[in-house]
Amino acid sequence: RPAMAPPPPPEGPGGAPPPLQYSLLLQHLVGEQRRPRAWDPAALGGIPSPPKSEEQKMVERAMESCAFKAALACVGGFVLGGAFGVFTAGIDTNVGFDPKDPYRTPTAKEVLKDMGQRGMSYAKNFAIVGAMFSCTECLVESYRGKSDWKNSVISGCITGGAIGFRAGLKAGVIGCGGFAAFSAAIDYYLR
C-alpha cells in the first residue's frame, strides 16, 4: 500500500503561508480576543440545581438556627439518655431492692418502675446537657464566624464549667477541663 504524502499547505494572500493553528488558539486563550468564562458547575461535571424558592431558603435558615439545633440536641439527648438509663438499670443487680427487707425478691412491677425512673432521670440530664452544649456551640460559632475544632472545645468548657459550678469553683474548673477534653476527642474522631 503506497504511503500518502500530506497535502501541501494552502497559501494565504500574497503567497505567504497562513498562521499556524496553535497561534490562533493562543490568541483566543491568552490574547486580546479572550472572553471571561462564567462559573457553571454543570460544565465541570457537577449536577445542575434549580434556584431555590423562598420557602426552601426559609426552611434552611430555620434548620441552621441555634434554637433548632438546641431543640434537636435536646430531643436526641432525651432519647439517648432514656435508653442508657434503662440499659444501666437492666444490668444493675440492686434494681427493685428494698433495704428494709433484703431477703425479699422484687416483683416485675417494682423492677420496671425503677427502670423507668432511672431512664427518665438519665433522659432529663442528657437532654439538658445536649441542649446546653449545642446552643453554646452554635453561639460560639456565630460569634467567631468559623467552624472548627475550637468551637467544640470552648463550648465543652462552658457547658462542663456551668454544670460543675453548682458543686463549687473547683468542680467547675474540673468540669470545664474534662468536658473540653472530651469534646476535643469527639471532634477529632468525627473530623
Furthest-apart CA pair in the chain: how many Å? 119
Write down the domain spans for the chain: 60-146, 148-190
* CB 90 within 8 Å of CB 115: yes
Give the model's pLDDT for residue 14. 60
| 74-179-138-142 Cα dihedral, nearest 10 degrees | 170
171 contacts: CB under 8 Å, gap ≥ 6: 164, 165
Q: List all residues 6 or more positions away from 67 whose beta carbon is below 8 Å from its beta carbon.
A: 135
d(CA 131, CA 187): 17
**Structure confidence at residue 175 as a pLDDT band (50, 70, 90):** very high
Residue range 101-113: average pLDDT? 82
Q: What percent of the chain has pLDDT over 70?
A: 76
Q: Which three cell numbers stand for residue 121?
A: 432521670
Nearest residue to 157 (alpha-carbon basis) of 137, 175, 139: 175
Task: Quote the mean pLDDT of the chain.
Answer: 83
- Whole-prediction pTM value? 0.65
CB atoms within 10 A of CB 13: 6
- Return d(Cα 98, Cα 104) in angstroms, integer: 8
Give the pLDDT confidence of 13-45 residue by residue, as tens digits. Answer: 566 666 567 677 677 677 666 666 666 665 666
